[in-house]
């Protein structure tokens, strides 16, 4: 249609997310919700981001200013009230939905005992409706409402159930991005009426799931376009296993479901400018990386030897990440290879209890830090020779993108975004940017680590060639933002055709 936004035309885009850096983060969603809006604004679009105002977001630190107060939000059979605040970060304006009832709590999604808040469906249903109301009351006539994961997956439904003819946001097209399909927002049907989605939408192809609510499922149904964070993950999630019960729902979207690879924020992850690492370095000047390796060895109590390969491990100790496979194989690796391992992470207590004592049993060979330390994460990316990511599934993954930029070759399972971003080493030619394995087993981890270690010792020219190729890769957000522009244009075409 004439007069509609096209690729290359400035759009008005509202991002709805439950977390975003630099304000609040529990996982990769926050990185994307912080970086993608910035990239879209840099490409000339008018971008806003709407977040819940959690207890941990300090109003004074961020100089939050009052916006629309009060803001009325219709939920169930009554109206609820909240306040809103705002601040700019670069070319992006952020808005915050403030509600003591829903967000003045210790955690984002769960309490200190890691138990999900029982009213999460109502919390994020309220947030999503409030975010759309903010757009409406402020006059932000968005071309695109971009929702993320189950927490804001109701936005496409609300647009079509409540705002189809609204003069401000009624023409907005919806895009829903799935960051991890294992988390779907499944809650008791007792909350459904409060969400205000009408009982005729409580069906097996929309919101109903074994008698309860599935917020992501309904969002997929109503969204004009659905994306996920890598092409391989899009393929995997269409299957019965990879889709976690939603494979058929995604297949039904047809060409309205795309895999768009996440980008890396090189403003924060680039060894040439990284302020957190011991010495900055560039691809053709590797002295800095050697200094970073020595500093990392000293910090974690490892033998300060330049000629021993150092494998880094950074991540959450959960089943998805496959660190139980490393726990099963790590003693075998240390017992049969001349190698060092630096571990940073936290999560399942059994894995914490496994990895925590290892430096005492293998002094100089294994270093571990149980918890999270942003500076140490940067040190490991800069100082290690390899980064191990043995994930059972990985929608996109970001650490392997950082590793490539730092000349730290990834050792990964060929799944999701790991498969899309790491080029398998060719032992005949020295081509490639890392080492990949297929089976999620301890044996496969051991064998592939052994392959990487033997390459380090026996084929140093290949190592040098691979490191140069890895550091030359470009996974900047600008490339990903261009792909999202195409998704937005298609969503607008679908929305305005009434399809």
- For the chain, the first-to-last Cα distance in angstroms comes to 14
Residue 139 structure tokens: 């006059």
Among all chains, which residue has been given the structure tokens 């995604």?
250
403 touches 426 (CB < 8 A): no
CB within 8 Å of 355: residues ≥ 6 apart: 317, 323, 327, 330, 343, 345, 368, 370
Residue 394, helix vs strand vs coil = coil
Give 24-35 as a DSSP string: B-SSHHHHHHHH
Give the DSSP H or E segment for 437.
strand 435-437
CA distance linking residue 387 with residue 381, whole number of Å: 7
| Parallel/antiparallel/unpaired status of strands 92-98 and 78-89 | antiparallel
Instruction: Provide the angle, in degrees to the nearest 10, between the axes of the packed helices 215-222 and 120-138.
Output: 30
Residue 157 to residue 201: CA distance in whole angstroms:
9
CA dihedral (222, 225, 230, 236) in degrees, to 10, reads 50
State how far the alpha carbon of 487 is from the alpha carbons of 39, 154, 174, 251, 481, in Å.
Answer: 15, 19, 10, 17, 10
Q: Compute how many other C-beta atoms are within 10 angstroms of the C-beta atom of residue 112.
A: 8
CA dihedral of residues 369, 313, 448, 31 (deg, nearest 10): 160
Q: Is 25 annotated as a binding residue?
A: yes
Q: Which residues of 396-416 are buried (b: 16+ CB within 10 A; e: fewer)?
A: bbbbbbbbbbbbbbbbbbbbb
DSSP, collapsed to helix, strand or coil, labels residue 245 as: coil
- Binding site feature residues for ADP-alpha-D-glucose: 25
- Binding site feature residues: 25
């Amino acid at each position: 249609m004439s007069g509609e936004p096209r690729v290359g035309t400035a759009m008005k885009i509202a991002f709805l997310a439950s977390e975003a850096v630099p304000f609040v983060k529990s996982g990769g969603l926050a990185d994307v919700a912080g970086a993608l809006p910035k990239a879209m604004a840099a490409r000339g679009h008018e971008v806003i981001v709407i977040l819940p105002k959690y207890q941990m977001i300090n109003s004074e630190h961020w100089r939050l200013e009052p916006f629309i107060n009060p803001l009325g939000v219709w939920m169930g059979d009554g109206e609820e009230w909240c306040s809103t605040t705002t601040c700019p970060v670069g070319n992006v304006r952020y808005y915050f939905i403030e509600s003591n009832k829903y967000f003045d709590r210790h955690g984002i999604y769960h309490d200190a005992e890691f138990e999900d808040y029982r009213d999460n469906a109502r919390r994020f249903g309220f947030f999503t409706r409030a975010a759309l109301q903010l757009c409406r009351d402020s006059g932000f006539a968005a071309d695109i409402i971009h929702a993320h994961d189950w927490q804001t997956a109701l936005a496409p439904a609300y647009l079509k159930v409540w705002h189809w003819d609204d003069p401000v946001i009624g023409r907005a097209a919806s895009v829903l991005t799935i960051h991890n399909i294992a988390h779907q927002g499944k809650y008791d049907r007792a909350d459904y009426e409060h969400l205000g989605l009408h009982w005729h939408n409580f069906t097996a192809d929309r919101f109903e799931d074994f008698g309860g609510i599935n917020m992501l499922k309904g969002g997929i149904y109503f969204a004009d376009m659905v994306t996920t964070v890598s092409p391989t993950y899009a393929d995997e999630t269409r299957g019965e296993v990879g889709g976690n019960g939603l494979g058929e729902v995604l297949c039904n979207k047809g060409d309205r479901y795309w895999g768009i690879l996440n980008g890396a924020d090189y403003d924060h992850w680039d060894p040439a400018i990284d302020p957190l690492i011991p010495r900055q370095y560039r691809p053709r000047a590797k002295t800095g990386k050697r200094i970073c390796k020595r500093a990392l060895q000293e910090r974690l109590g490892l033998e300060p030897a330049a000629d021993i390969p150092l494998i880094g491990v950074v991540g959450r100790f959960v089943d998805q990440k496959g660190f139980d496979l490393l726990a099963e194989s790590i003693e075998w690796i240390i017992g049969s290879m001349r190698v060092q391992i630096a571990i940073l992470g936290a999560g399942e207590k059994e894995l914490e209890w496994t990895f925590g004592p290892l430096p005492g049993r293998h002094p100089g060979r294994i270093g571990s830090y149980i918890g999270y330390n942003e500076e140490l994460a940067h040190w490991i990316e800069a100082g290690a020779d390899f980064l191990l990511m043995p994930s059972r599934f990985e929608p996109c993954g970001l650490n392997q993108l950082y590793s490539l930029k730092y000349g730290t070759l990834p050792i990964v399972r060929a799944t999701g975004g790991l498969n899309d971003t790491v080029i398998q080493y060719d032992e005949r030619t020295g081509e490639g940017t890392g080492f990949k394995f297929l089976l999620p087993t301890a044996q496969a981890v051991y064998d592939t680590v052994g392959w990487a270690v033997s390459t380090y010792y026996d084929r140093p020219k290949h190592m040098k060639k691979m490191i140069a190729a890895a550091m030359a890769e470009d996974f900047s957000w600008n490339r990903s933002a261009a792909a999202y522009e195409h998704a937005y244009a298609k969503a607008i075409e679908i929305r305005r055709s009434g399809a």
